[in-house]
Amino acid sequence: MSVLLAHMRETYVIGAGPAGLASAIELSKAGEKFTVVEKADIPGGLAKTYSFDEDGLVFRTDNGPHRFFSKNPYLYEFIGELVGERWIEVKRQTRQHIAGKFYDYPIKPVQALANIGPTKAVRMIADYCVAQARYGLMKKPIRNFEDHVVAHFGRTLAEFNMINYTEKIWGVKASTIHSDWATQRIKGLSVGFLIKAAMEGAIGSFRTAPLRTLVDSFYYPEYGTGLIYETIAKKLADGGHPVRCGTYPIKIRHDGKRITGITLKAGDRTEETAPDQIIESIPPKEFLKLLDPVPPEAVMAAAERMRYRDQTYLFITLDKERVTHDQWIYFPEKQIPFGRISEMKNFSQKMSPPGKTSLFIEFFCFEGDAIWNAPKEYLLGLAMGHLERLGFCRQDEVRESYLIRQKKVYPIYDTEYRSYLDPVKEYLDRFENLHYIGRPGRFRYNNQDHSLEMGIMAARSVIEGKRHDLERIGGEEEYFEKGTHGKA
Ligand SMILES: Cc1cc2nc3c(=O)[nH]c(=O)nc-3n(C[C@H](O)[C@H](O)[C@H](O)COP(=O)(O)OP(=O)(O)OC[C@H]3O[C@@H](n4cnc5c(N)ncnc54)[C@H](O)[C@@H]3O)c2cc1C
């Protein structure tokens, strides 16, 4: 008697960052057959948490501090189910350091005015009025990020922190950055909103809807944001689907409409697979190079124009109870070589051993430049000069320092980016069994929430056999900017 075995659909999830792991857990909940592969040694992508054991004293740090914020109540449930009580609410305490002074963020009006001084404050107001006249009444076009912030805040306020910090992050002039960057990150933020929010902070109860940039508390897993992704990886392993780390595609075959086969490298071995569905978060520039046959020249040329900003981090552990009460402090000015410092203990006490603390110091760079190539000792010397001067810590309090380099952290939205991103996406969209997701996959400046949502929706596309529009996620103005920070 012949037994007809029904073909069970198989999905390959390539990349185990938040997006890929969210896909995998959703597939597992639906009882789908799937495999997860990840190029790195551990899952979690940019949202992983590192642990450093110093003779039994364990210090933890995220790959840059991660607060969780979303308008989507389902995501709070999704994470709540994974980490439960280990998800704690943290009252936000952050500052900026500009021209030798510290500014609380969100802004405290009395402190801000005292720090800025009357002359500069008057100049800010005058410039704001000029900008309103130029961009509002005279309809001067907004062609780039610089125009956007000058139009909304006036030149003096825009230069005070936004233009400086943006140029530090991206390493290019603010006038060469697309205004979409402002639309994504600070839409809804205006002088009026800042004044309202500041007044609310000062006197209590305006009930201003919180902006993503201004929410005053957030959720954080007590052992670092990576706890979410370690928990997913463990659940997957317990269910018989361990994340196969150190495994990645070296060739992806297709017939112009579907992906037909993948050659994977796993350690010294190669293996062949032909999954029915592929969910991947590989940067498009790399993904296209894996395709066989090679995509048209125009698509490859468009992908070549995609650029990223990279980062080098210095994590220092300290024989000191605490440095500040801040979770993080921004340093927008160029003369300070790092962009932000974070004290992980102020996210959760469990990030440092009792009586000790740590600082995570972020440098923005391009792969191969002087900061990227700098040895740890050089960066430590550079950082300590400023940290000592600011009274944060002394060299003799430093226990240990760790250097971490991270490629392709920020997709660069230059003023031309749509002209090369659109043809790449148009080409990828032809593959009916391909779902490209996440911050790297979609060349999108996603936070965790949008990557999680993309992962979940890609898995649902597979499960339901109908494509959900992943481009929409994070694109809606309201969705993107305003939200709740409470658990659902
Ligand atoms: C310094 C910093 C601070 C941040 N702060 C916050 C914050 O406060 N709040 C917040 O919500 N978000 C924050 N983020 C953003 C957050 O880290 C990202 O949104 C999230 O990690 C994106 O998840 P992802 O899965 O889309 O991409 P990634 O995290 O980049 O994961 C992609 C995964 O795919 C793997 N991969 C790539 N190529 C291949 C390949 N060829 N084969 C196999 N695997 C591959 C990678 O190794 C990686 O594991 C921050 C990020 C940084 C860097």
Q: Please, is 375 exposed, middle or buried when counting C-beta atoms within 10 Å of its C-beta (0-12, 13-18, 19+)?
A: exposed
Atom number in ligand 1 closest to CA 18: 25
In the predicted structure, residue 259 carries a pLDDT above the cut 70: yes
Same domain, 112 and 211: yes
- Whole-number Å distance between alpha carbons of 97 and 172: 21
User: Tokens for 451?
Assistant: 């990557």
pLDDT tens digits, one per residue of 354-370: 999 999 999 999 999 99
Mutate to test the pocket of ligand 1, among 168, 447, 453, 481 (most ligand atoms within 8 A of CB): 447
pLDDT tier at 479, thresholds 50, 70, 90: very low
Same domain, 27 and 49: no
In the predicted structure, residue 158 carries a pLDDT above the cut 50: yes
Last residue of a domain, one of 411, 443, 458: 411
Last residue of a domain, one of 379, 396, 411: 411
pLDDT tier at 1, thresholds 50, 70, 90: very low
Mutate to test the pocket of ligand 1, among 36, 37, 63, 66 (most ligand atoms within 8 A of CB): 66
Same domain, 321 and 393: yes
In a domain, 233, yes or no: no
Same domain, 295 and 316: no
pLDDT at 432: 97
Atom number in ligand 1 closest to CA 40: 47
Give mean pLDDT, residues 381-409: 97
Average confidence score pLDDT of the chain: 90
- Whole-number Å distance between alpha carbons of 294 and 43: 29
In the predicted structure, residue 278 carries a pLDDT above the cut 70: yes
Rounded to the nearest whole angstrom, what is the distance from the C-alpha of residue 46 to the centroid of ligand 1? 3
337 touches 382 (CB < 8 A): yes
In a domain, 101, yes or no: no
pLDDT at 192: 66
pLDDT at 196: 61
Same domain, 79 and 141: no
Q: Which residue's CA is the closest to the ligand 1 atom numbered 26? A: 438
Q: Which residue's CA is the closest to the ligand 1 atom numbered 35? A: 15
In a domain, 7, yes or no: no
pLDDT at 112: 84
In a domain, 102, yes or no: no
In the predicted structure, residue 316 carries a pLDDT above the cut 60: yes
In a domain, 485, yes or no: no
Rounded to the nearest whole angstrom, what is the distance from the C-alpha of residue 48 to the centroid of ligand 1? 8
pLDDT tens digits, one per residue of 336-346: 999 999 999 99
Rounded to the nearest whole angstrom, what is the distance from the C-alpha of residue 138 to the centroid of ligand 1? 42
Rounded to the nearest whole angstrom, what is the distance from the C-alpha of residue 43 to the centroid of ligand 1? 10
Q: What is the dihedral of CA 55, 317, 51, 348, to 10 degrees?
A: 120
Same domain, 348 and 317: yes
Least confidently predicted of 185-189, 220-224, 459-463: 185-189
Atom number in ligand 1 closest to CA 19: 25
In a domain, 446, yes or no: yes
Mutate to test the pocket of ligand 1, among 281, 342, 405 (most ligand atoms within 8 A of CB): 281
Give mean pLDDT, residues 107-135: 89
Rounded to the nearest whole angstrom, what is the distance from the C-alpha of residue 438 to the centroid of ligand 1? 8
pLDDT tier at 183, thresholds 50, 70, 90: confident
Mutate to test the pocket of ligand 1, among 71, 270, 365, 448 (most ligand atoms within 8 A of CB): 448
Report how many domains make up the chain.
Answer: 3
pLDDT tens digits, one per residue of 39-93: 999 999 999 999 999 999 999 999 999 999 898 999 999 999 999 989 999 999 9
Atom number in ligand 1 closest to CA 450: 19
Q: Which residues contact 389 (CB under 8 A, 6 or more apart)?
A: none
pLDDT at 137: 86
Rounded to the nearest whole angstrom, what is the distance from the C-alpha of residue 14 to the centroid of ligand 1? 13
pLDDT at 199: 59
Same domain, 111 and 208: yes
254 touches 431 (CB < 8 A): yes
Give CA separation, 49 vs 89, 207, 223, 228, 229, in Å.
18, 35, 8, 10, 9
pTM of the prediction?
A: 0.92
Rounded to the nearest whole angstrom, what is the distance from the C-alpha of residue 99 to the centroid of ligand 1? 33
Last residue of a domain, one of 215, 233, 254: 215
Q: Please, is 257 exposed, middle or buried when counting C-beta atoms within 10 Å of its C-beta (0-12, 13-18, 19+)?
A: exposed
Give mean pLDDT, residues 300-309: 97
pLDDT tier at 107, thresholds 50, 70, 90: confident
In a domain, 261, yes or no: yes
Kindly report the CA angle at 244 between 303 and 49, in degrees rounded to 5?
Answer: 80
pLDDT tens digits, one per residue of 201-253: 544 433 444 445 556 889 999 999 999 999 999 999 999 999 999 999 999 99
What domain range includes position 197? 107-215
In the predicted structure, residue 394 carries a pLDDT above the cut 70: yes
Same domain, 294 and 438: yes
Q: Which residue's CA is the closest to the ligand 1 atom numbered 39? A: 282
374 touches 398 (CB < 8 A): no
User: Tokens for 460?
Assistant: 């649902």
pLDDT at 71: 87
Atom number in ligand 1 closest to CA 281: 34
The CATH number given to whatever domain includes residue 423 is: 3.50.50.60
Atom number in ligand 1 closest to CA 410: 53
User: Tokens for 194?
Assistant: 């800042």
Rounded to the nearest whole angstrom, what is the distance from the C-alpha of residue 309 to the centroid of ligand 1? 13
User: What's phi and psi for 69, nearest 5 deg?
Assistant: -150, 135
Pocket of ligand 1 (CB under 6 A): 14-20, 37-40, 45-47, 63-68, 248, 281-282, 286, 362, 409, 438-440, 446-449, 451
Q: Which residue's CA is the closest to the ligand 1 atom numbered 49? A: 45
Closest CA to 144 of 172, 113, 105: 172
pLDDT at 203: 45
Same domain, 355 and 382: yes
Q: What percent of the chain has pLDDT over 70?
A: 89
Q: Which residue's CA is the closest to the ligand 1 atom numbered 34? A: 15
pLDDT at 182: 80
Rounded to the nearest whole angstrom, what is the distance from the C-alpha of residue 134 to the centroid of ligand 1? 39
Give CA separation, 343 vs 223, 276, 318, in Å.
14, 45, 11
Beta pairing, strands 57-62 & 49-54:
antiparallel
Same domain, 167 and 19: no
In a domain, 481, yes or no: no
User: Tokens for 418?
Assistant: 């749509």
Same domain, 111 and 146: yes
Atom number in ligand 1 closest to CA 22: 25
Q: Which residue's CA is the closest to the ligand 1 atom numbered 8? A: 66
The CATH number given to whatever domain includes residue 379 is: 3.90.660.20
Same domain, 209 and 153: yes
